[in-house]
Amino acid sequence: MDRSYETIIIGGGVVGSSIAYHLSEQTKEAVLVLDQKFPLSGTSGSTQAWVWVHNKTPSWYAEFSMYSAELYSYLSKKIGDVEFKRTGGLSPFFNEADREKAVRLAEAYEQIGIKIKVLSREEALEKEPFLNPDVVGATYSAIDGNVNPFRLVDRYMRAAKKNGVQYSTYNKVTEIQKMPGKFIVVSEKGEFSCKNLILAGGTWSRELGKLVDVNIPINQLRGQILVTEPLKPFLNYTISGLRQAFNGEVLIGYSMEQEGFNRATTLDVIQETANMAVHYVPSLKKAKVVRAFSGIRAMPEDGFPILGKIPGVENLYVAATHSGVTLSPLIGTLMTELILEGETSIPIDRYSISRFAK
């Protein structure tokens, strides 16, 4: 293994691996990805993996998500089958007051070119016949879908490796030294040097930031997900709260709990999640739940991505976000532009870490 690289990326999850892949498509300079475990050991291996735009707010964040979702079809042609399915997304509502909110959402999105349709009860049930007949309506967007996160990270990684990127796994970074024109990255398997250093440590970003005296305000937010036995395909759409995977399993849930790095699953949340599923799709009552798992979201303090250069330290970058599955194609593209050209094709100033200094 070499010891000197043009770029080192710390974190091989969906964000770090997307950056590695996109960068390696544009440059032959040496790139190394370091991961304290393996690329799916973090949040990217414990996610719902919707490619989701609809009802992201405010609308500029929805627009950012839309650009990324649009990249998925091309990406899957390039890196291989990631089981990306643009199912369309449905957000059912169960009272009339929510229809007003839905109409306002649709109007706001119209201005940025995202079509959200507010469906009547009959239209919602026509699209998704297994929805609870008590549904009052739903918002619908054709742009949403989902992907297999295991395949996605694996394909990013394989494509990056094919382009010459090296991965060093089970190799925790313990220290970072800033030297003139380079960084020395100290890991459990020795020292590496690089010109560009990218912190893509997901939910561990705050700890990584401390190694370079930078506050990266990422908090942990646990989510528990239930998985049913494989069922015959019966859900047509990604429904906010649940989706049916290619193999027939239904993945249910999006709990939000402040439990630090604790990845336990708990009976109370499992019960709440099962009740929510049966409320949305009553026939799920008969489905057998075969497992539950939890993941820890990397949640920026204000909820929005933290992307770009770290001011005051030359050639140091950060990419940390929630919704990293949805955003990974765009983040990989934009971080590559920033590293190689010094600027991005669409502005990312609003996602700069400097906003937290204000």
Ligand X SMILES: Cc1cc2nc3c(=O)[nH]c(=O)nc-3n(C[C@H](O)[C@H](O)[C@H](O)COP(=O)(O)OP(=O)(O)OC[C@H]3O[C@@H](n4cnc5c(N)ncnc54)[C@H](O)[C@@H]3O)c2cc1C
Binding site for ligand X (CB under 6 A): 10-16, 34-37, 39, 41-44, 46-50, 52, 172-173, 200-204, 208, 223, 225, 295-298, 321-326
Residue 76 CB, nearest approach to ligand X (Å): 15
Residue 36 CB, nearest approach to ligand X (Å): 4
Nearer to ligand X, 7 or 44 (CB): 44
Nearer to ligand X, 19 or 135 (CB): 19
Coil/strand/helix, residue 288: coil
Nearer to ligand X, 15 or 135 (CB): 15
DSSP 333: H
Nearer to ligand X, 168 or 352 (CB): 168
Residue 311 CB, nearest approach to ligand X (Å): 21
Residue 322 CB, nearest approach to ligand X (Å): 5
Nearer to ligand X, 43 or 139 (CB): 43
Residue 63 CB, nearest approach to ligand X (Å): 16
Instruction: Please report, as a single letter, which amino acid is at residue 306.
Output: I
Instruction: Please report, as a single letter, which amino acid is at residue 122.
Output: E
Nearer to ligand X, 45 or 230 (CB): 45
**Closest listed residue to residue 282, CA positions, set 290, 274, 293:** 274
Angle between helices 59-79 and 149-162 (to 10 degrees): 60
Look at the block and give the residue holding tokens 């960068």. 23
Residue 102 CB, nearest approach to ligand X (Å): 20
Q: Where are the alpha helices (DSSP H) in the chain?
A: 14-26, 59-79, 96-110, 121-127, 149-162, 205-210, 267-280, 324-341
Angle between helices 149-162 and 14-26 (to 10 degrees): 30
Nearer to ligand X, 192 or 204 (CB): 204
Nearer to ligand X, 125 or 323 (CB): 323
Residue 308 CB, nearest approach to ligand X (Å): 15
Buried b (16+ CB within 10 A) or exposed e, 138-160: bbbbbbbbbbbbbbbbbbbbebb
Calculate the alpha carbon distances from 313 to 183, 184, 197, 268, 357 in Å: 10, 14, 10, 46, 15
Residue pair 67/324 in contact (Cβ under 8 Å)? The answer is: no
Reported as type and span, the H/E element at residue 238 is strand 238-239
Residue 134 CB, nearest approach to ligand X (Å): 25
